[in-house]
Structure 1
Amino acid sequence: MRRSLAAAMLLAALAAAPAWADIAVTATAEPTTYARGRTNSYVIDLRVISEAFGGADATYFSVPEGVTLSAVRERNTFTWCSDVDVLVLGMGTREGGWYQRGYPDPAGCGSLSGSPAPGELQVVIVDVDVPADYVGDLPLTVHLLGDGTGGGPNEASVTLNFADDATAALRWHFDDLAAPALPGGWATAATGAGVPWVTQAALVDTAPNAVHAPAPAARGESALTTAPIAVPADGGEIQFRQRLATDAGADGGVLEIAIDGGAFQDILAAGGQFTTGGYDGVLATPAACAGNANPLAGRSAWSGAHGRFGAVAAVLPPAAAGRSVQLRWRLGTDCAGTPEAPNGWWIDDIRLAPTVPQAALPTRLAVTVSAGTQRTEPLAIGNAGGGLLDYAVAAATADCAAPGTPAWLQVDEAAGQVAGGARAAATLTIDSGGLAPGDHDALLCVTGSDTGTVRSIPLHLTVTAEACVAADRVFANGFDDSGDGLCGGALRTYDDADAFLAEVAPGAHRNAFTGLRSGYVHGPLAFGDGGFTYTVIGAPAGFFGNLFLFAGAGMLAPMGPGEDSSLTITFTGAPVTALGGNFWGQSFFVSASIEENLQLPTPIVLTLDDGTVETFTATSQRDFRGFVATRPIRSLTVTAPVPLPDGDHAWGVFDNLVVGRTR
């Protein structure tokens, strides 16, 4: 196993350091469970106990193989040294934390202070990324190495065990893997001319990866099997996106399930039911292949050519509820022909979702049109849950309780159904003929069968006096010209990450900002890869820099708080029309106490280059905002201009930025 820099540093410390002060540690954490397939944030209460008021030169954390640390942050820790200089190493790996610069030489102070029993409370926050296929309890070990005061043992550790929250939705998007590796615990097997499944980046639904098996022109089979999956007690729905290029009617694929280690059966034979994207044919055997028939011949299957990724959703058999299951995708081929390469079966973005629907909608819609023109705009409607979501869309002038469609707005395809994991759209026709230049407002009233309540989505229309200069709208959509906006545009705003990501095209770039060093730096800093690149700079600039990379926080912050402090993201590569991330207020220091890294309710202001302003109150690092536009977004500025109740300002910060293009 390749050792991380943090691990190597610690091993050297253990080998070189003499035994120093007696030290011990106890810990409790909130919450006590973890959710697979996402980042889990833990607030850990530590009590460090030392015979001689010693401290810890190193405080680090370790998690099992396959699990990684995303960030570590101090909440209210203290040290005997006013100028303690702490390094943060290991973010993005399974071992990491705080280290005194120059460690293992004794410094007399360190990253955590000790005190006589029972110890004073010190609080840290640790973010842990858990893959969707992780199985069992999750141990998180806190390690302390003493700072050289007194004599006696120099080490202490305590392990916290977190239980699996089996009710959380699971997702496998393959994007955190290095091709050709499969997720941990997954397996692939091939017989005959079949080729094993691999992770690849050539054709995907969500960038950068999807899994794929080719379809040879010979008898064979390729199987992809998941690790055991715990199904919630009330059942679940398996959803995925697939693309197929096979010999129609002869080659194709099936989905099978095994319950509690039993034999695999076709998902339908086991009692499951497709709600969307089910089998589209029966595999036959051409006369020429009588002795070399498809191993799946005679079975209902997916076959032929699906030119783009499409949604599949299947309710798991009732017998799977509350049980452990494995899923298997089998691709079978015969001796007949096959489409030109690339061919075979691609699968991406697999989810185990609840069986009940959950509407995923934008929170607001802004449209700009020229005077005397007409524009159509989709209202995206997704189902982030399972089953079928029935929806209906109406319009109102000012109150959804009193419908009354404005004369300039018409709603087409106003009712329909959306399967789990899929999306649909109602079409809005906006006619500015007869409207005076300026601002006009309406409400879109969406009723969904998930709650039965009416959701109000504000629609803001801006009519400009200028005429559209481009006769052909294809060349005025922001992708082919400089995007002067005269032909109009639209901006959809999301506060739900899943709803936003459903609108993002393959190839987007995501950055979690792990591995950044600590301290002040001079910007701008460059990020991104492929075509989507950007820079980040903070204001105001100071002697130390204009960006602050806080120890282990895994996020970007300006140099300091205040009404004049800001972060600006400037896009430097391909046109960006989809932009989203986590935005919140971080109170790094509280003047009245030793508390830091508090995520207090903070008004956050996001300003796009076109003048659009999104203001909301963020309460934690999970607060999300995303924008999907028809014209390029050239910059975004983040501010937290309103002081907190105690008079201090919070830093306006962001993390997990997704930059790309709309579908």
Structure 2
Amino acid sequence: MTFSPIRCAAVLGTLALAAALPARADIAVTATTEPATYARGRTNTYLLDLHLISDAFSGADALYFSLPDGVTLSAVRKRNTFSFCSDIYPTVMGMGSSEGGWYQLGYPALDGCGSLSASPAPGELQIVLIDVDVPAEYSGDLPLVVNVLGDGIGDAPNEASLTLTLADAGTPVVWGFDEVAAPALPGGWSSDADGAGLAWTTQATAADRGPNAAYVPAPAASGEAVLTSPSVPVPAGGAELQFRQRYATESGRDGGVLEIAIDDGDFVDVLAAGGQFTAGGYGAALEADPACSGDAANPLAGRAAWSGTQAAYGTTTLVLPAAAAGHRARWRWRLGTDCAGKPAAPNGWWIDSVRLTSAPPTVSTPARLAVSTGADVQRIEPFEIGNAGSGQLNWSITVGDGDCSTPASPGWLHLDAGDGVLAGGERGEVALTFDAGGLAVGEYAALLCVSSNDAAQPLRQVPVRLTVEADACPAADRLFANGFDDASDGRCGHALRIYDDRDGFLAHVASQDEQTFTGLRTGYVNGPLRFGAAPFAYSVTAAPHTDLGDLYLFAGSGVLSTVSPGEDSELAITFDTPVTAVGGNFWGQMFQDPTSIEANLQMPTTIVLTLDDGTRETFVANGQQDFRGFVTSQPITGLRVRAPEPVDDGRYVWGVFDNLVVGDAR
């Protein structure tokens, strides 16, 4: 048997028990991991490359992982593994806690069967994946302990372990205030008030992105209201703090400031500490009202601040003081008011989408855009472009024909702007005008060529398709078919965006339900299976049906699969009520062939996703990080998942999915 191992970061450790132990009590493990870093405030997926070593054991009866308190496992998955016995179905335990993994039923096993092979020494290569949730406030190295248990056919159980040390990647820490139910603040955040100042809460009626924003009203009396963040580590190379804000205060008299505390030091204004605003900085100086003196004065009088009214959310970007690099920091937003006046309600200060990041500029756009409209209709459709990193993203868009080396000027496609600048975490839109005037019924294609200073993808080619339909557009007056007087709600047609990155997709999804499918029992099941909650509930069925069932569940793996693969094998998702956004991870998987690990690979697989309206997305998935998401202006009632083509050796693989997000388009 031959196997080409995947590239991994580095061998981080091997620990074997002493040779003095009895001959039948020997087991050891080696491991590498990719990546070798973690990102705070998000779920991290690790691919572990394991070798179990034993001359006496058939295999490991338990493989489990230990993490520091507060860091949790959310899923464990076998990717390319080999079981010494074909009928071993280990139980998954500990998901949502800091220790968990696979435990063989009836451990210790007296028949010598193991869940993972360690025979012959040095053992089959075992590739497993685990999802680790790291809180935003975690800092320092993260130890991941790999534990292996074997039993030796009735001998005393034997254990080996090693520790993989994961380094802080310095990736964005993001607070969206969306993980709690309003009016609660997220963990680690706090609010203080003095005088007439009121407590900060979360509010679900005026958020910028997601359901919640942090909010405090502005009273017509002297006081201050303070919102304080958790203490988090700042990357050694420095970082930017970005957030979205809007405010309505008495101009020049009431307003807000931002302060920073480094390590356990005092809070000082971010500018006084050495920070620099690169976007959305202070725009006013707070003056003392002669009618409000002493205890009636604004405690922030005389300071530069945000004051007056900013009715729409805008991005503020701050380069942190050099003194903060490599240290821990907290921030606080202080709203100060005096004894006189306030704007009409709703007034106060709203904060949303707070990000600490050192990532370079990263461009984010839809992967594809399809627009349908009636003949002789002009339709305006926004094209979103975002900066998923930090720093300044400089971008420009041109139109290409066939590829971006060949410029095109199709008469049916017009851009309202060709270039722009985005701060980290900021998103913008370019208006695309689709003009079907004089076009015959049929399909028309072009490319949007997005150039930017994103070093990883300086040129992103986005296919655009216009479908001119024969049916008349239901507008009372064709002159206003792109809005105003239009019986089709101002759209006169529909649009579909397809995303290949999760963050870009989620930025355009409002209310949602996400299922990771962990905690499912193992085995064959007759569908349909029910998931989600109203209004995003759905059922999953599979074809073909066998006597065993039509679905197979892999406990703890977060994977739904058909019983058998093949050209006609498919998973079908049916929504109780129509939705306008759905996305997830889709890939091809081999499952548990007891003869060789080579039969259990995640191989490059053609995946076909089909919406109920016939829209089809076909792509080659290389593993379970491959993402596709659909955002549409017309309802989606179903989605089918297939892997209809054999892989290179002629075998069919199972088309599977995980981490499904269902919701409404923003």
Name the TM-score, length of structure 1 as normaliser. 0.85
Question: How far apart are the structure 1 equivalents of 2:506 and 2:542?
Answer: 27
Alignment partner, residue 603 of structure 1: 606
Q: Given the alignment, which residue of 506, 517, 521 partners 1:501?
A: 506
> Following superposition of structure 1 onto structure 2, how do residues 371-520 of structure 1 map, counting pairs within 5 Å?
371-450=375-454, 454-471=459-476, 487-505=492-510, 507-520=511-524
> Following superposition of structure 1 onto structure 2, how do residues 525-604 of structure 1 map, counting pairs within 5 Å?
525-529=529-533, 531-573=535-577, 575-589=578-592, 593-595=596-598, 598-604=601-607
1:653 corresponds to 2:649: no
Structure 1 residues 112, 249: closer, same or farther in 2, change over 3 A? same
Q: CA deviation at 1:312?
A: 2.5
> Counterpart amino acid of 1:524?
P
8 A contact 2:565–2:654 mirrored in 1: yes
Alignment partner, residue 331 of structure 1: 335
Structure 1 residues 552, 403: closer, same or farther in 2, change over 3 A? same
> Counterpart amino acid of 1:497?
R
8 A contact 1:21–1:150 mirrored in 2: no
1:28 corresponds to 2:39: no
1:272 corresponds to 2:288: no
8 A contact 1:24–1:157 mirrored in 2: no
Alignment partner, residue 90 of structure 1: 94
Structure 1 residues 94, 643: closer, same or farther in 2, change over 3 A? same
8 A contact 1:231–1:324 mirrored in 2: no
Alignment partner, residue 6 of structure 1: none
Question: How far apart are the structure 2 equivalents of 1:402 and 1:115?
Answer: 58
Aligned length: 638
Q: CA deviation at 1:366?
A: 1.0
Q: CA deviation at 1:119?
A: 5.7
Question: How far apart are the structure 2 equivalents of 1:596 and 1:514?
Answer: 24
Q: CA deviation at 1:313?
A: 2.1
Aligned to 1:535, the other structure's residue is in SS state strand
Write the deviation string for residues 474-508 of structure 1: whole angstroms up to 9, x where unpaired. Answer: x999xxx9999993111122222232233233x23
Q: CA deviation at 1:617?
A: 1.2
Question: How far apart are the structure 1 equivalents of 2:346 and 2:69?
Answer: 34
Question: How far apart are the structure 2 equivalents of 1:336 and 1:547?
Answer: 67
Q: CA deviation at 1:436?
A: 0.9
Alignment partner, residue 229 of structure 1: 233
Write the deviation string for residues 448-485 of structure 1: whole angstroms up to 9, x where unpaired. Answer: 34469554322211111110234389x999xxx99999
> Following superposition of structure 1 onto structure 2, how do residues 44-123 of structure 1 map, counting pairs within 5 Å?
44-48=48-52, 52-53=56-57, 55-79=59-83, 81-102=85-106, 109-113=113-117, 121-123=125-127
Q: CA deviation at 1:369?
A: 1.0
Alignment partner, residue 634 of structure 1: 637
Aligned to 1:127, the other structure's residue is in SS state strand
> Counterpart amino acid of 1:619?
N
Q: CA deviation at 1:226?
A: 2.7
8 A contact 1:86–1:110 mirrored in 2: no
Question: How far apart are the structure 1 equivalents of 2:233 and 2:174?
Answer: 11
Structure 1 residues 106, 94: closer, same or farther in 2, change over 3 A? farther
Aligned to 2:597, the other structure's residue is in SS state coil
> Counterpart amino acid of 2:497?
R
Question: How far apart are the structure 2 equivalents of 1:182 and 1:486?
Answer: 38
8 A contact 1:589–1:596 mirrored in 2: yes
Question: How far apart are the structure 1 equivalents of 2:460 and 2:32?
Answer: 37
Question: How far apart are the structure 2 equivalents of 1:355 and 1:87?
Answer: 39
Percent identical residues: 58
Aligned to 1:498, the other structure's residue is in SS state helix
Structure 1 residues 613, 122: closer, same or farther in 2, change over 3 A? closer
Question: How far apart are the structure 2 equivalents of 1:534 and 1:202?
Answer: 27
Question: How far apart are the structure 1 equivalents of 2:250 and 2:467?
Answer: 51
8 A contact 1:92–1:515 mirrored in 2: no
Structure 1 residues 169, 598: closer, same or farther in 2, change over 3 A? farther
> Following superposition of structure 1 onto structure 2, how do residues 120-139 of structure 1 map, counting pairs within 5 Å?
121-139=125-143
8 A contact 2:29–2:160 mirrored in 1: no
Structure 1 residues 340, 635: closer, same or farther in 2, change over 3 A? farther
Alignment partner, residue 296 of structure 1: 300
Structure 1 residues 628, 43: closer, same or farther in 2, change over 3 A? closer
Question: How far apart are the structure 2 equivalents of 1:457 and 1:121?
Answer: 39
Structure 1 residues 45, 245: closer, same or farther in 2, change over 3 A? same
Q: Name the stretch that deviates more: 71-80 or 439-448.
A: 71-80
> Counterpart amino acid of 2:168?
D
1:160 corresponds to 2:149: no
8 A contact 1:380–1:423 mirrored in 2: yes
8 A contact 1:21–1:146 mirrored in 2: no
Question: How far apart are the structure 1 equivalents of 2:180 and 2:142?
Answer: 20
> Counterpart amino acid of 1:279?
Y
Write the deviation string for residues 247-284 of structure 1: whole angstroms up to 9, x where unpaired. Answer: 55444332223345544332233333333333343334
8 A contact 1:512–1:656 mirrored in 2: yes
Question: How far apart are the structure 2 equivalents of 1:342 and 1:597?
Answer: 59
Q: CA deviation at 1:287?
A: 4.3
> Counterpart amino acid of 2:522?
S
> Counterpart amino acid of 1:357?
P
Name the TM-score, length of structure 2 as normaliser. 0.84
Q: CA deviation at 1:71?
A: 1.7
8 A contact 2:172–2:359 mirrored in 1: no
Question: How far apart are the structure 2 equivalents of 1:522 and 1:203?
Answer: 44
Question: How far apart are the structure 2 equivalents of 1:529 and 1:310?
Answer: 33
1:169 corresponds to 2:172: yes
Q: CA deviation at 1:381?
A: 1.8
Alignment partner, residue 620 of structure 1: 623
Structure 1 residues 302, 472: closer, same or farther in 2, change over 3 A? farther
Structure 1 residues 77, 434: closer, same or farther in 2, change over 3 A? closer
